[in-house]
Amino acid sequence: MSPNTRGALFALAGFGLFATHDAIVKTLGSTFSPFQIVFFSVLFAFPLATLMLMRDKTDGNLLPRHPWWTALRTLAAVGTGAFAFYAFSTLPLAQVYAIIFASPLIITVLSIPILGETVRIRRWAAVIVGLIGVVVVVNPGQTDLTLGHFAAIGAAICGALASVIVRKIGRDERSVVLVLYPLVANFFLMGALLPFVYKPVPIEALGGFAFMSALAFAGMLCVIAAYRAGEAAVIAPMQYSQILWATLYGTLFFDELPDRITGIGVAIIIASGLYIVFRESRGSASRTQPVLRTRSRPATPAAPRVSNQLNTEERDKGLPPKS
């Protein structure tokens, strides 16, 4: 089996685990507030994250070298989780994925002021086409816009912002800082909101929270293994397989059947995203390659972004970050 094939299989497994995680979020969201779901997700993630962070061999303390960028990235990460969990709780899975898939397009736009990236006409055209796809999915005028739609858009924007900031400061910051600060911020912020939204948690729901955190962590490990084995240009598009899982889970468990309009919008968004990924994989189209180096979908509260760990490994080996 070739390295790229092995990497693609790891990626498909990882994104399948992430999709299962999201289906559990949707199930729990019918009973519990997104703030309570995030809180328990982070609570169960702490032991897993601690085991992972114990492998960090970088000397230093927990003070960020870029405190303001770290603070903004932490807020963006908190917003990503809260917005995404609310969107999954209220909208069809496939529709949420379609909107969140716009993140690479937003990353391309944000890379201009934050990374000093030069975006040429072809990438601008891909961004515009992709955003048209988002409008098709949302279908304003025919569909009543809800807070869930705005939450999904907020998750895409916050996830993109967190991605670009990691690309800016990831070479300087320790992975323990990039991982721990959002976990702690989620724990305290969601804990402060918990008294206002708390509902008693039966044992089966508690198991659901624990299983959800384990799935997110396992999915992250699979995607890390995928990027170790294969090329980023092969692995990155595998995240779009989540739309197939969303369709399957939506049909089996939530009585959700994607309509034709959603299917058209998803196809447009994926096509524009793939164009950006494959163009940047050529190496000459982008100095910082912000889309490929984000490496996966936005981080979940229970699992940090994959690129944090890969960049740390590359830095420890004295290598430049992979594209």
155-166: pLDDT as tens digits: 999 988 988 888
**Residue 121 maps to a domain:** yes
N-to-C CA span, the chain: 23
Into how many domains does the chain fold? 1
Q: Look at residue 68 in the predicted model and tell me its pLDDT.
A: 94
Q: Please, what is the average pLDDT of the chain?
A: 83
pLDDT digits (tens, 9 = 90+) for 86-113: 999 999 998 898 888 888 888 888 888 9
Helix axes 121-138, 103-115, angle to 10 degrees: 140
Which structural domain range is residue 130 located in? 3-316
Q: Between residues 322 and 41, which one has the greater pLDDT?
A: 41
Helix (H, G, I), strand (E, B) or coil at 171: coil
**Residue 239 maps to a domain:** yes
Q: Between residues 125 and 286, which one has the greater pLDDT?
A: 125
Helix axes 203-229, 306-316, angle to 10 degrees: 40
**Residue 321 maps to a domain:** no
Q: How many CB atoms sit inside 10 A of residue 75's CB?
A: 17
Q: Look at residue 21 in the predicted model and tell me its pLDDT.
A: 94
Q: How many CB atoms sit inside 10 A of residue 38's CB?
A: 28
Helix axes 242-253, 3-29, angle to 10 degrees: 40
Q: Look at residue 141 in the predicted model and tell me its pLDDT.
A: 67
**Residue 323 maps to a domain:** no
Report whether pLDDT(319) > 60. no
Question: Any long-range contacts for 112-116 (C-beta under 8 Å, 24+ apart)?
Answer: 114/164, 114/165, 114/168, 115/164, 115/167, 115/168, 115/288, 115/290
Report whether pLDDT(149) > 60. yes
What distance in Å separates the CA atoms of residue 276 and residue 236, rounded to the nearest whole number? Answer: 11
**Residue 322 maps to a domain:** no
